[in-house]
Each structure stands twice: as C-alpha cells, then as structure tokens.
Amino acid sequence: MLHNELAPEMNTRILLVDDDPFILAMLESSMTALGHAFDTAEDGEVAKDKLKQGDFTLVLTDLTMPRCDGMQLLKHIKDEYPQIEVIVITGHAEIHGYTDVIRAGASDFISKPFGLDELEAKVRRVIREQTLIRKLEHLSMCDMLTNLYNRRAFELKLHEEIPRAHRQGYPVFLALLDVDRFKEYNDHFGHQAGDQVLQEIGRILVQCTRENVDWCFRFGGDEFAIIIPYATVAQVEQIADRIQERYGHGSRYASTSLTVGLAQFLRRPENSWPEDIAELVARADKALYAGKEQGGNRVIADPSLACPAKLSPTEDH
C-alpha cells in the first residue's frame, strides 16, 4: 500500500441539508437503512460550518432554504471543496430546474416526493463514480514497481505542503536518495535483480519514516525522495541514518549502498513559490551529488540545516 495514501476505496460520509425537519428525518432514516455514515444541517449556513469540521464525500441538499439556499451552497462547495459531489433535492415549484443545477456543478437532481429506491440508486451511482475516479487518480500517482508515490505525485505534494508549512509555521525538509553503483549491479545481475533492489528500498523507506506524516516517492530511476515535515534537524538526520543502516545491514545487495542529500525549505520573500521550491530540490540534489563524489554511502546535509528556518508568515508571492 502507498505510504500516506488515501485508499482508493471510498469511506463515504454524507451531509444531509434541509430546513424541513420531516424531510431531514426521512433522509436520516434512508441513509441509516443504506448503511452510510452521515451528518445533518438545517440550512446552508450550518452546512458550511459542518463542511469545515468534517470530511464529507457527498452532500444531499434541498434547494429552498433560509439564509443560504441550495444554489448558494452548491456554488460554495464547488469553489471550496471541489472533490465533494452534490445531489440537489427540489420541489416541483422551484424556479431552478435540472439543467440549472447540473450546470452549476451538481452531480444529480431528485424531485420531491421521492422514494428510497430512487434515492439509493442516485447515491450509489455518485459514490461508484467517485470510487472510480479515486482509483484512477491513485494509479496516476503510483509507481507500480515500488508502490510508492511517483514523480508526478512528488511535484504536487511539494507544491501543496510547502505553502501550508509556511502559513502554519512548521519546518519542511527534503531528502533525496540515490543507489550507489546501481548501474554496475544492474548490468551484472540483470534488470530483475535491479528491480528487487528498488523494491527493497521502497519497503525500507516506509519502515523508517513516520506513517501519515512523511511522504515517500520514487523520484525516478534509482532515485528516491522523502518530504519530511514537522521535524527537527536531528530527527531528519536520524531518519536518513536509519534508512542507510537498514539497507546496509546484512544486505543481499552488498555491492550497492545509499547516498542521501538533505535540505531544509527556506522562504525568500524576493522569490516566488516555484523559485523557492525549485531551490529546495536543487540544494538537496547538490548535497546528494556531493556525497556521491565523496564515494557514496553517506548522508550529506545542505548548509540550510544549520540555519534557522525562515518560516514566519510573510506576504506570499
């Protein structure tokens, strides 16, 4: 399983929104009968608060409600939570029809009065489509050999994690790893043996990093990467040392070793986010190749690890 992944199988949680207590109670009974986890909100404003607090996959909302109606709530969800699907429930006298709500981003439309069979069919269809999309996203982000995240996922996660760390004031480190003498090993023992080396490294990275905190990637070829947030310099160096020791201890791949380059993200107000992120990767890469030039099988830290992290909030570029 991917380290830190959201599993492709959906853990469905549904938010039910209606200002009519009778309709809301009927929706609750339906969701209970169908076996779905759910929460309720009596209007769109309450729903907005619930969305901030919970992890929902689907919203079922009435159209006509006080304070914030269904169309306003739908727009809010599509703007703020685009991964959440919405089914709109309407009465016959509504000014908005099927075409209006679908154009606004709803996944489906149910007219009152409705039966359990219709509700079940539409909810199951949306969940099934969400699950398929999640699986396709999973495959597009996965390195099939090692079952780690791939280079595409690395780029996306780095550009997501770095600005969040800056906003919240915690440090982020990057470790780049390379297999020493991998080409010679591959040439001598064959590509299948080389693949086993890469798979073993993938297992070691997962074992030596913190689940649901650190992010492990196959960066490309025989290079790997780890994004390490919420850590001290000492902890980062311990992770790198532990990976090296685990790989080298009694290894069947004794003719190979690992070199690790470490760098810490530093925010420079004169730079854009992409520039600072690219600089982080370049500094980790430079440290890695400094270690390779010294014979490999070592951990080299960029000088940034000796500097205080410049993570206090400043104006973003």
Q: What number of other Cβ atoms are within 10 A of residue 296's Cβ?
A: 16
Asked if 307 contacts 266 with a C-beta cutoff of 8 angstroms, the reply is: yes
Tokens 């009596």 belong to: 42
H, E, C per residue of 48-61: HHHHHHCCCCEEEE
Q: Name the catalytic one among 62, 222, 276, 302.
A: 222
Q: What's the Cα-to-Cα distance from 176 to each of 3, 68, 149, 263, 310, rounded to whole Å?
A: 17, 49, 14, 9, 21
Asked if 193 contacts 246 with a C-beta cutoff of 8 angstroms, the reply is: no
Active-site residue, 108 included = no
Q: What's the Cα-to-Cα distance from 169 to each of 210, 270, 271, 278, 300, rounded to whole Å?
A: 20, 19, 18, 20, 25
- Angle at 282 (CA atoms; ends 281, 284), nearest 5 degrees: 65
CA 211 – CA 60 distance, rounded (Å): 33
User: Please, what is the angle between helix 44-53 and helix 70-80, to 10°?
Assistant: 20
Q: Could you give the dihedral angle defined by the CA atoms of residues 36, 37, 39 and 44, in that order, rounded to the nearest 10 degrees? A: -50
Element (H, E) at 217: strand 215-220
In sequence order, the 6+-apart residues with CB closer than 8 A to the CB of 68 are: 43, 44, 45, 47, 48, 76
Provide the 8-state DSSP code for 303.
G
Q: Which residues are catalytic?
A: 222
